[in-house]
Structure 1
Amino acid sequence: MRELTDGDSWIAARRQAIGGRVRAARLAQNATQEQLHLAAGIDRVTLQRVEAGEDTLVSTLLRIAPALEVPLSELVVEEADRPGR
């Protein structure tokens, strides 16, 4: 197990990256926030917060990923952390 000694600043950066990937996946499908929040069964403000990189629940991401037809890992795993990279 690796000890995280850098404080929590990396968490905000990861949340921003996840939000950016959600937004990019949505835009790649030419979907609006309205379409995605309805398809995912979440509140529009919740989706806006996810895309803005604010704190979110795993259950929210578990709703967004299938609505976008992408694996959850595509939204949350950093490229450098992917196996074989």
Structure 2
Amino acid sequence: MPRLPDDDAWLLQERRAIGDRIRVRRLRDNRTQESVYLAAGLSRSTYQEIEAGARDARIGSLLRIARVLGVHVTDLLHG
């Protein structure tokens, strides 16, 4: 299957948008990154890379983060 010309840029933009939604929700709840990644059972570096949009998040990781933040995973994906 051929790649779309702007596939990499689109993917980076979407990952950053998901990370931004995670960050906004975390800050709205007055939580630290540490409290979220520990509660979600993720490593610090994995969580930080997801929140920064620097890593493709596995669905299990997104589900855990959403649960800790008290939102449905679709809220992180679609805002």
- Structure 1 unaligned runs (5+)? 79-85
Task: Work out which of the two has the higher radius of gyration on C-alpha atoms and give 1 or 2.
Answer: 1
- Structure 2 unaligned runs (5+)? none
1:63 aligns with 2:59: no
Alpha-carbon distance in 2 for matches of 1:65, 1:25: 9
Greater fraction of residues in helix:
2
CA RMSD of aligned residues (A): 1.5
Q: Which moved more, 1:45-54 or 1:4-13?
A: 4-13
Q: Please give the TM-score of this superposition, normalised by the length of structure 2.
A: 0.86
Aligned length: 75
Per-residue Cα deviation, 1:32-82 (whole angstroms, up to 9, x for no partner): 01100111111111110011102221111011000000010110015xxxx
**Equivalent in the alignment of 2:37:** 37
* Sequence identity (%): 44
Q: Please give the TM-score of this superposition, normalised by the length of structure 1.
A: 0.81
Q: Which of structure 1's runs of 4+ aligned residues deviate more than 2 A?
A: 4-7
